[in-house]
Structures are given as C-alpha cells and as structure tokens.
Amino acid sequence: MINQIVCKNDSFSAFKSAAIAITLLVMLTTSQILRAELPDFMSLVKESAPAVVNISTIKKIKEPGAFGFKTPKGEDIPEIFKPFFPSPGRVPSPRERVKPESLGSGFIISDDGYILTNYHVIKDAEKVLVRLNDRRELEAEVIGSDRRSDIALLKIAASDLPVVKLGSSADLQPGQWVLAIGSPFGFDHSVTAGIVSATGRALRSETYVPFIQTDVAINPGNSGGPLFNLAGEVVGINSQIYTRSGGFMGLSFAIPIDIAMNVVGQLREHGFVSRGWLGVIIQEVSKDLAESFGLEKAEGALVVKVLPGSPAEAGGLQEGDIILKFEGAPINLSADLPHKVGVVSPGNEAQLQIVRSGESMSLSLVIGTLPSEKALASKKPRSPGTAQANNPLDVLLEDLSSAQKEALNLSSGVLIKQIKDGVGARAGLIPGDVITMLNGTKIQSVSHLLEVIEAAPKNKSLPMRIVRRASPLFVPIKFDE
C-alpha cells in the first residue's frame, strides 16, 4: 500500500515537472515572438542621431536707460550730479540685453550645411545658433522661411556633415511605427517612439498642411526635429502638439516631408513660396446640408463665397457649388481642399468635379497665385449695417440698402432684423444674418424671397446661404406645409 502511494507521488511529481517545463517553454517562445514583433530602434538612432541639431536663438531686448526721463536744460540739477546725467536735451539710450533661448530642433539635409526646422522656432530671431552633435556651435543664416507651412531653411558654414535619409510621407499608414529625435526642454538627442495615429489631419490654425498625427511623445523643444520611419528615413517634421497642460498628451502633429521638401525647393530657388489659389471661402457639408443639397452622404467642400477677380470666378465656380473632387482626388472634408490646391503650381489647369443644383458636372479652371494674407484680408466683406424690416418666414426682414450692399460686398440680399419662434429660429437664424440664396436661387429682395419660399418644396431640408458677421455660410432650413 505504501509502495503504491509512493509510486503515485512519483508519477505526480513527474507530471508536475513536465507541466512546469512546458509552461516555461511556452513563456520563452511567447517572449521571443514578442521581441521579434517589436522594433529595435538602436541602429536607427545610432545612424540618424548625429544629423539632428539643437537650435537656439538670440533676441535683443531693449531696456530703459539709467534715467527714464528728459533733462531739457539741466539747470535744476546740482553740479555734482551732472556727470551722471545725459547732456542737456537728450534722453538716455535704451540698453540692449542679449537673451539666448534654446527653442527647438532641426536636422541636416545636405553635407554642405543646409538644415530644416520650423518657422516658429526661428521667428523674430536676431541670431540663430546651431549646436551640432559634436558640440560645435555655429551661427546659421536663414535662407528662407514660410509661415503658412511652418518651415524654415537654414545654412551653416560647414562641410562633410552627417545627413539624414529623406523618405516619402505619401505611403504612410495609421499604425506604422515612427520615431522622433529632438531636444525637448533642452535635453539634446532625446528619442521617443510611437505609431502613426492618422494622416491628412487638418488643423484650424494651419490650412495648407495635411498633418501626420502620431502618439509619439513630443514636447516643447522637439519642434523642427525629424520624424523617422523604421527604415531610418525622415517622413515628417515634428511641429505641434495638442495639449491642455503644456506638455505631451498623446496628440502630436508632424509636417509631411513631401510638403516640406516642396517648400525647401522653392525657398532655395526663390527665397519665397508660391501656392495655388482658387479664391473661394468653403464650409463643411453636414448631414442636414447634404440632405438639403440632395447628396447621398455628407462630403465635399461647400462654396459659400467666390472672391471677386479670383480664379474660381473666372472658371465659373458659383456659390452653392459642392466640390467633390480636385484633380481626381476625393474631397471628403472641406479641409482637404486647400492643401490640394496649394501644391498646384500657379498657372496650371485643374479639373474639378462639383455638384450644382443637384446635378454632377465637371469644371476646368486655371489655378492662380495665393495672395499675401494682407491682400486676402482686404477682400473680405466688412460688417453689416443696421436696418428696419418687414415680415416673412417668422422673422422680421428688410431689403439691403445700397450702403449695406457696398459694406458687405453683396449685390443683393435680405437682412434679418428680428426673429421669433418658428421656421427661422429652428434653422438657427439670428438677427443680423443676411439671406443671399435659398435652394440655389439668389435672393434679390424681400418680395423675391417670399416667392422662392412659396415655390419651395415643403417638409424637406433646403440649403439657405446667409452672411453672418461678415462670413458666409449655408444652413439647412425646412418649411412646413
């Protein structure tokens, strides 16, 4: 009996040992598989880091002189103090204090000293200093910069420099591994890694850049540094973060390297950047607006304003048109359009697919040159005037006066003075709005608006174009039976 128990215990021990061995083997195999799937960044960093630089700027800050007041004649100043004061009738000159700041990062793109960084890193700098991987510090010349794309091209007097490998951002896909090297908070050559979260991301503050969104840890000082793929190629320039704390929160944005190198080529050749321009103000197409325009789904860029003298006007684009494709590329969101137009060289012809009054059609027009921001601002309509009105559609209305038309840069329209509960209120109309179009028909007067409303389909969303606080937009509106 005892022998049997012993045998049983021996069998159990053997089984237990085998189970442990199998478990360890599975754990080891799993660990090896996981290690095989995770990328090894060490060789990438060793090869690429020497071409990443720290960029600091020097700004001269003016401070008041020793005495911040005039001494017209000096008679009232005792003789003993006069040597300490400026000569009669003069004010002490302000003293200039040099303030160095470590602002960001950059990377060398040619062995003769061309360096790429962000425009906001070197903005307003009196002097730009570049610190290399071998601790040399050299003054850089700003070859050119472009605020709209946040790109700056620098040049240092050096040769045989290490350079990065430039890749392409065109094939980047969400989920790909990427790595950043930069100087967050002044800590040179810090390495962080993550994945691509999205591509073609539009930010409100930057119209002409389809950003790469990543979850790579980017902080102040990383700006201008390179974003690498696993092949060690630069695919982007780290530029912005979304944050409520001032630090990294998992949303980082990089300028695609294809966009950046297009800018670099123009800066090296001309010292400035030319961009394609349509000359329209556009709006997102919401679900309700899509229904009102007869679209199956919400897509495209809705034209709410065609600027006078623009390529869009010359090419026949109209307010209320919805641009669905530009040069064959689909426009899913309105923000997709500006950067697609921007990369087209001025003077080239472009093909647009649009929807007008529910009908699909194609337009061909010649792309113009994007004017300066000051010139664009002068084309925007000014604030509306005030007026009295009469009544349709549950709002108090009035025809625009000649002065109001001139102030708003409109040829016609109807001003909303007051509003009460009803159709207009449900559509989101407010006092001060100017109705310029309803269901594809330009509104000439109050009486004309009433006629259009009378003929309009009922219980169906219709597009109404208004001008609100000098900005045009479309709203969907539905009239009851």
**What are the residue numbers of the active site?**
120, 150, 223
Gyration radius of the chain's alpha carbons: 32
Residue whose token pair is 């697919």:
353
What is the spatial distance between Cα 90 and Cα 246, in angstroms, rounded to a whole number?
A: 45
What is the spatial distance between Cα 55 and Cα 194, in angstroms, rounded to a whole number?
A: 24
Which of 408, 395, 420, 423 shows the shortest CA–CA distance to 467? 408
What is the spatial distance between Cα 276 and Cα 266, in angstroms, rounded to a whole number?
A: 13
Tokens linked to 385: 């005037």
Tokens linked to 240: 């912005």
Which of 170, 173, 176, 181 shows the shortest CA–CA distance to 224? 181
Determine the Cα angle at 52 with ends 47 and 53, to 5°.
150
* Spatial contact of 221 and 118, defined as CB atoms under 8 Å apart: no
